[in-house]
Amino acid sequence: MMHRWLAETHSATFELLRHFLLRFFDSDLVTSPGQTALAVIGSSSMFLTWFPFFTGPLKDKYARLSALPSPEPYRWALRADELWLIVMMMSVIGLLTAIKWQSLFPSLADYRAIGWLPVRARQIFGAKLAALLIVATAAILVLNLVPALGFPSLAHSRVWPLALALAASCYFIFFALVALRGLTSRFATGLQGLLAAGMLAALVLSFSIGPAFAHAVARPGVAKWFPIVWFLGICDPDPAMHVLAQRAYGGLAAAVIAALATYTVSYRGHRKLMMEGIAAPRKQRRWLGMAFDWLVPDPREQAVMVFLAKGIGGNGPHKMVLMAYGGFGLAIWFAAARMLSIRACFVYVHVIVLVFLLIGLRHLFSIPVELKANWAFRITEGAGREQWRRAMDRFALFFGALVLVAIPFPTEAYLLGWRVAASESALFAMFGLACYEAVFASWEKLPFTCSYLPGKKPMWMQAVRLLGLLTALELVNAILLACLDYTVVYAVVFMALAGIWVRSNFARREAWREIRLRWEEAPEAAVHTLNLLR
């Protein structure tokens, strides 16, 4: 009966709502329709399965704290863990909102599909906002279900206050970001990357929240400036925290009103922006062009590097990917930086950020800018192939050396001395070259030209790889630190890295001439062939 009712056409508002819900996870960059939704579902299920890993340690901790004669350690441990859950869930919802940043408002494809229909712009925006609320509510309910029910059973605390605090905090960050999106329509692409990086960093750093941090931020003079502590007042039975609970409810109401107001006010400007675009005059920089001609004399390589720069700088999702990986690496480094010396901090931040930026760069190059336009590259696949490889290498290595070596070097030289800084930078540069060859050893695409298929590999496999990578990075950091203390070890490791880089670069250069480029991603085959055509 319900299936028959849904198959019929209903009111314009209902049909618009149906359109936005069905297209919410679709993308023109993906080959197979619905693959993005499967990736999101897989990520959510993987996130929910992490909580049972904390069940044993949490149960033992609270059993031990409950046996103590003083209730203060138990109370502060409970407050810290509740704050951890609030920060973690706010970060997850904020990250999902940042990932779907472009979908918070109707897209250009939506306007082209339904703009000619006899519906008003406010109906389109109303249906889009209703679809957002439905999707956000479903995500908040699913992601908060296990923590809200499981944690109180382990800590012997109340269920409903924690569930209310988690839901209210998630709705607060969602409506606050929707309001921010409405206020910054013209700067949405750059802001998306910053938000994704910030939310990933907050998610990683949430696991380092302890009683000392909770005690520091729960003080009245500090707590009023941190919305995350406001929502802690909802689930904390301490009467002194009730003032923060009232502030949390007020902040949530303000976020809802701001989101509705900005959504209502900005819909006309956003429609005009999407339909007409922004045509800003560009300044001529002759000296920059002359320097570019001198550094890259080949016109084909120039064209490729300009294409790569415009692909990264002109598209919001591409900025978000790279900045998110960099923010994740910085968060991992920051979590361990408090226990490291100054010299170890430089080694750790170089290695960790380099590895995650390289992985992010490979992921970034896999996302097309305009998939339907890759025919222009297909018909010239054999021409200029070597120029593509050289231009990609020069582009990545130049900006990587600039960001990771040249810019931090003066600070490193000031804190560690010129000799140590030069030794560390040279060793790190050689390590970076070897890592670049390892990450792009099996690369068989032109950047930004192949369709993207998210969720191609199971999420549990990605999680295992991440844990293995973090474990390996600890060993790499220890080796590089030892190189700075012992000259013989430094020389051996440097020569080994140089040999790996030369051999890998030669093998990749030879394979690039013969490899068959990929233009469309496809799911893994059930039966693997011998790949004789590759």
Report if residue 301 sits inside a domain.
Answer: yes
In the structure encoding, which two tokens stand for residue 500, read together?
Answer: 């790996």
Q: Is 301 in the same domain as 265?
A: no
Q: Is 337 in the same domain as 266?
A: no
Residue with tokens 């709705």: 171
Return the SS3 of 211: helix
Q: How far apart are CA 162 and CA 144, in angstroms?
A: 10
Q: Is 217 in the same domain as 364?
A: no
Residue 56 belongs to domain spanning: 9-22+46-276
Nearest 5°: phi and psi at 70? -100, 135
Report if residue 522 sits inside a domain.
Answer: no
Burial 208-224 (b: 16+ CB within 10 A, else e): ebebeebeebbeeeebe
**What pLDDT score was predicted for residue 524?**
61
Q: Is 266 in the same domain as 232?
A: yes
Report if residue 112 sits inside a domain.
Answer: yes
Q: Please, is 247 exposed, middle or buried when counting C-beta atoms within 10 Å of its C-beta (0-12, 13-18, 19+)?
A: middle
Report if residue 291 sits inside a domain.
Answer: no
Q: Is 267 in the same domain as 308?
A: no
Closest-CA residue to 30 (of 340, 387, 450, 404): 450
Cβ atoms < 10 Å from Cβ of 275 = 11
**What pLDDT score was predicted for residue 236?**
81
Report if residue 292 sits inside a domain.
Answer: no
Give the amino acid at 276: E
DSSP 71: S
Q: Which residues contact 46 (CB under 8 A, 6 or more apart)?
A: 459, 460, 463
Domain end point (choices 276, 310, 332): 276
Ordered per-residue pLDDT tens for the chain, 534 residues: 555 654 555 567 777 777 777 776 665 555 455 555 555 555 555 555 566 667 778 888 888 888 888 888 888 889 899 999 999 999 999 988 888 777 777 666 666 666 656 667 667 777 888 888 888 898 899 888 888 888 888 888 888 999 999 999 999 999 999 888 877 766 666 677 788 888 888 888 888 888 888 888 888 778 888 888 899 989 888 787 888 889 999 999 999 999 888 877 776 665 555 555 444 455 556 677 777 777 888 888 888 888 888 888 765 577 778 888 888 888 887 777 767 788 888 888 889 989 999 998 998 888 888 777 787 788 877 777 788 888 999 999 999 999 889 998 999 898 888 888 999 999 999 999 999 999 998 888 888 888 877 666 666 677 678 778 888 888 998 899 999 888 999 999 999 999 999 999 999 888 887 778 888 876 665 555 555 544
| Model confidence, pTM | 0.76
Report if residue 94 sits inside a domain.
Answer: yes
Cβ atoms < 10 Å from Cβ of 137 = 14
Q: Is 145 in the same domain as 192?
A: yes
In the structure encoding, which two tokens stand for residue 268, read together?
Answer: 């006309």
Q: Is 248 in the same domain as 344?
A: no
> Which DSSP string do the residues of 100-156 spell out, in sequence order?
TGGGGS--HHHHHHHTTSS--HHHHHHHHHHHHHHHHHHHHHHHHHHHHHHHHHHHT
Report if residue 358 sits inside a domain.
Answer: yes
**What pLDDT score was predicted for residue 112?**
62
Q: Is 369 in the same domain as 488?
A: yes
Residue with tokens 């222009």: 376
Residue with tokens 């930004």: 448
Report if residue 28 sits inside a domain.
Answer: no
**What pLDDT score was predicted for residue 111?**
62
- Structural domain tally of the chain? 2
